Structure 1
Amino acid sequence: MNRSRTRFAVPALLTGLTLALSGGGAQGSGQTVTILINDSPWFPGFRAIAEQYQKETGNRVNLNVTPFAGMLQKTQNAVTARESEFDLVNLNEQWYMRFYADGQITPLRKIDPNFKLDPQIIEYDYATRWDARLGNSTRNGEILGLPINGNIQLLYYRKDLFDKAGLAAPKTWADVEKAARASAWAAPSSSRSSGCWAPTASPASAGPRRCAAASPGGCCCST
C-alpha cells in the first residue's frame, strides 16, 4: 500500500483493516497492510482475528508489535516522517485526541464514503469521532477510529470507613456519588487526610470491588 502520507486510520476490530484495504484494491487481491500495535495482554486475541481475516480475504496482515512504553514515541515518529511503514496504528485512549487535533488521522469515510458504524460498537463518549470545528469528540464528529476494547474499571474503598459512616457498598454510580456527599473523609479539609475521588469516563465497568486493606486517609477511587 502507498505509505507516502503521514495520516493514518486507527484500527479496531478488523473493520478498520477492511476499510483501509478497500482504498487500494478489492478484497482478496493479496495486499499487505501493516499495523503498529502494542504488546498488551489482549494482543493474542487481536492476532487471532487478524489470522482469520487473512484466511477469509487473501490479504496479508503484518503486525508490528511494540512494547507499550515505546508506542507513543514510535507513533509520533511515524506521523512526522515523510514516509511511514505503517498503514494503521493502534492508539491508547490517553493519546488519541492529540493525533485527532493535529489532523494526523484519516477519517474513515475518506477511505470508504459509504462507511457506517456498526450499531453494536460502543463508542465510549464518542472517542471514535472528532469535530474539527469544536476541537472535541462529539456525537456528530467525523469517524476517525474504531475501539478495540474498553478499559475495565475497578472501584476500591475503605470498608472500615464506610462501616463507620453507616454506608453500604456502592452498587451504582449514584451510590458512589451519594457516598461521596455523605462522607467527610471523601472531601478532606485538613492536611492530615488524603482522601480522593477519581471519576473516570468509562462507567461501563465491572461492579465495585472491596479493598479490605486500610490506607491512610480513607481513599475511595475509581481507577
Structure 2
Amino acid sequence: MAVASSLVLLASACGGDEEAGGGATTGGALEGRGPITFATGKDTSGFLPAQVSAWNSQHPEEKVTVVELPESADGQRQQMVQASQNKQDSFSVLNLDVVWTAEFAANRWVEEIPRDSFPSLSAAIPATIKTAEYRGKLYAVPITSDGGMLYYRKDLLTKAGVQPPATWAEMATACQKVQALPEGKGMGCYAGQFEKYEGLTVNFSEAINGAGGVVVGEDGKPNVDTPEALAGLEFLVNAFKSGAIPKAAITYKEEEGRRAFQDGKLLFHRQWPYQYALASKTDGSSKVVGKFAVAPLPGLNGPGVSTLGGHNYAISAFAKNKASAADFIKFMASEERQSANLQASSQAPAWASLYDDTALQAKFPYLTPLKASIEKAQPRPAVVKYGDVTAAIQEAAYDALTEKKQPKQALTDLQTKLSSLITQ
C-alpha cells in the first residue's frame, strides 16, 4: 500500500444535525446602544487593540471592552458555554470557532442575524457563510476564514535539490535528503497540532481526508471505520513511532509548533496562515525569516485536503446593547478592517476579493493557493453536540498516537461513539 511505503521512508528519514433546547431563536429587533464586551481567544497577533481602538474612537458612547479568553479553543468554548448556560450578560459579542455555530444557535445562546443589514455577506467566500448558518438561518457573521498549509524550509529544500512535496512519500524523501545535509542534522521532519484539544480534531480529520476518507459522510452519518481512514491514522501513528514527528509534538498546539518552526527545529509544519507574519518578523523572534515558504498540505496520493477553519462573530442572546453589538460586527466585517487585519496578522479574511488583490498577493504569496484551499476545504461535523463529538475524536486519535489503542480499534470504537452522538 502507498501509505506503507511513505511510512518506511519516514522511519528511515527521521530515525444533518440535532435539535437542542427546543430550537434556535427566531430572531427579533436588535435593540439597545451603549458599551459592549467582546469575548475572544488570546490575541497572538497583537493587532486586535488597534482594530478595537478604531471603533472606540468613532463610537465614544459605545466603547468595546475586550475580554481575552484562554489560548486554547476548548478553553474559550468552555467559558462561553458557561456564561451562556448561566444567562450572563458579561459577553456581548462572541468570537466563535466556525464549528460552534450549530451548538450556540440550537441552544438559543446567540441571536439570529438579519442578513439584509450585513452587506459584507455578499462579498464573503460562500464556504464561510455556511459556517455561520444553522437550519437555513444566519446566527453569526464570517470575519476570518482559515485553511491549513504546509510551511517548509525553502532554503533547505533548494539546497537538497527537492521540490515541495505533494504526497506523504515525497515529504519523507525530502526529509531524508535534507537531514543528510550538515544544516539538517537533528532537525525534526514534520509536526502539526497533536495535543488533546480541537487542533487534534483538525489534524486527525486532515489525515483521514488526505487518504481519501471522511469523518462524517455527505449523508450526515459518521464513517471512520474504513480502510481509507485507517491509512490516514496509521500515517500519523507510524510517524510518531519512527520519530518523523518529534515525540514532543504530542504536546503541540498552534503556538508550541510555531515556536519550534521559527526556532529552526522543523523542516515541515502544518499550520494556519497567521504563522506567516510571525515567522517573518525581523525582531529576532524568528530564525527562519526569508527562509521559508508555504504549499498545499500533502496527502496519500496527491495534495491533501484542509479542514475548514475560521471565526465568526455572534451576538449573545443575553447581552445588553445588541444594536451596538451588531454595528461593531458590521464594522469588523468590512473590507477595510479585514484588509487591515490580513496585513497586520496574515490571518485569512472572509472577504473574497482580498485574495485577488495584486498588492496583497505580492506581500502574501500564499493568498491564491489559500483561497483554493478554503474553497475545497472539508468542514468539521456541523452538529449540536459538537463538544461531545470533538471530544470523542480527540480521545480516539490521542489513544492511537500514544499507542494506548491500535489504530483499527480506535476507529472502530470511534465509529460506535459518533453513531450514538450524531443522530438524524
Deviations 1:107-159 (A, max 9, x none): 122xxx8513412223435112221xxxxxxxxx2221112211232156331
* Structure 2 residue 165 is the aligned partner of structure 1 residue 129: no
Residue 205 in 1 paired to residue 370 in 2? yes
TM-score, length-normalised on structure 2?
Answer: 0.30
> Secondary structure of 1:104's match?
coil
Find the counterpart in structure 2 of residue 194 from structure 1: 235
In structure 2, what is the Cα distance between the partners aligned to 1:154 and 1:130? 28
Q: What's the secondary structure of 1:64's corresponding residue?
A: strand
Structure 1 residues 53 and 160: alpha-carbon distance in aligned structure 2, compared to 1, 3 A threshold: closer
Higher helix share: 2
Structure 1 counterpart SS, 2:147: coil
Q: Could you say which residue in structure 1 is the equivalent of 2:147?
A: 152
> What one-letter code is carried by the residue in structure 1 that aligns with 2:84?
V
* Distance (whole Å) between structure 2 residues aligned to residue 115 and residue 207 of structure 1: 28
Q: Judging changes above 3 Å, is the alpha-carbon distance between structure 1 residues 46 and 86 closer, same or farther for their aligned structure 2 residues?
A: same
Find the aligned partners of 1:127 and 1:75 in 2 and give their Cα distance: 18
Query: Is 1:61 aligned to residue 167 of structure 2?
Result: no
Corresponding residue SS for 1:105: coil
* Counterpart position of 2:407: none
Q: Relative to structure 1, is the Cα distance of residues 123 and 53 closer, same or farther in structure 2, using a 3 angstrom cutoff?
A: farther
Deviations 1:43-77 (A, max 9, x none): x3332111101111222110001113321111011
Higher relative contact order (CA 8 A, sep 6+): 2
Tell me what 2:36 maps to: 33
Deviation at 1:80, TM superposition (A): 0.7
Deviation at 1:161, TM superposition (A): 7.0
3-state secondary structure, aligned to 1:149: strand
The answer to whether the aligner puts 1:23 opposite 2:31 as a matched pair is: yes
8 Å CA contact retained: 2:84, 2:109: yes
What are the ranges of 5 or more consecutive residues in structure 1 without an aligned counterpart? 1-6, 9-19, 26-30, 132-140, 164-178, 209-223
Q: Report sequence identity in percent.
A: 14
RMSD: 3.9
Task: Show structure 2 runs of 5+ residues with no match.
Answer: 1-23, 151-164, 175-209, 213-226, 237-298, 310-368, 374-424
Give 1:158's aligned amino acid. Answer: A
1:105 aligns with 2:116: no
